[in-house]
Amino acid sequence: MSDAPASVRVLACGMTESGKDYLLRRLFLDRYPRALILDPLGEWPRDRGDWRTYRVQAAGELRPALARAVREGSRWRVYAALGGDAGPELARILVPEVLGVGSAFPLHVGGMALYSPELDQLAPTSAPPEVVGLWRRGRHVGLSIFGASQRPHGIGRIVTAMSGWLVITKTIEPRDLAYLRGFIPAPAHAEVVALPWRWAVLVDTRGGRWWVLDDAQKTIRSGRLNGAPTLPG
């Protein structure tokens, strides 16, 4: 199998069409040779990658589709028309409660990514234990998780607590701004409030840095999580 990048957790949030999904793909997801993409409304853009693609319309079709993808190659995308209510079933497939040798699918295939476009539905504040396990135990089996949401205040704290990267696009809803204030520093939060359309604040929570990216993903400003912003150069 082709090696996947190291397991990571990335949360993207912002208004509709503000660029959060595009940035998730561009900065992170496109680097992963294998991915399960939740696409309940069939809105995912036409894929131009060099991987095989598979479509799933119901939860019962997911296991056979994943098995077929593995048989037919090491680079694939499985697009599943599944909503947040499929979270417990996803967890049982990807991160089972009892981890034996080769028992977890991501471990079996050499690592993979899971993408959810409506993370407040997959992992809400009242997420069931199986879904919480995706974040708590997924890294042990090579599962990376990328999620986007227009409503970050509705996302379970397990997501923000374990996200190594945050991609924050234009946000104006007061409850969401208040939520973001709880885990990003004041200078970065001030940038979020004033972001132009399709710009973003990128936060590396582990490395202690943040960047303001323009619509071409060029760094405009950067800073330390506990320090003042600096100009690029």
CA atoms within 13 A on the CB side of 104: 22
**Residues in the chain with pLDDT < 50?**
1-2, 101, 228-233
| pLDDT value at residue 74 | 92
Query: What is the dihedral angle through the alpha carbons of 123, 100, 110, 160, rounded to the nearest 10 degrees?
Result: 20
| pLDDT value at residue 137 | 87
Tokens 């800073």: give the residue. 223
Q: Which domains does the chain have, with CATH numbers?
A: 9-230 (3.40.50.300)
Q: What is the per-residue pLDDT across 70-92, written as a single tens digit (0 to 9) for each?
A: 999 999 999 999 988 899 999 98
| pLDDT value at residue 40 | 86
Full-prediction pTM beyond 0.75? Answer: yes
Strands 219-224, 229-230: parallel, antiparallel or unpaired by DSSP? antiparallel
What are the b/e assignments for 168-183, b being 16+ CB within 10 Å?
A: bbbbeeeebeebbeeb
| pLDDT value at residue 80 | 95
Say if CB 202 and CB 47 are below 8 A apart.
no
Q: What is the per-residue pLDDT across 102-129, written as a single tens digit (0 to 9) for each?
A: 568 898 888 999 999 999 999 999 999 9
| pLDDT value at residue 217 | 94
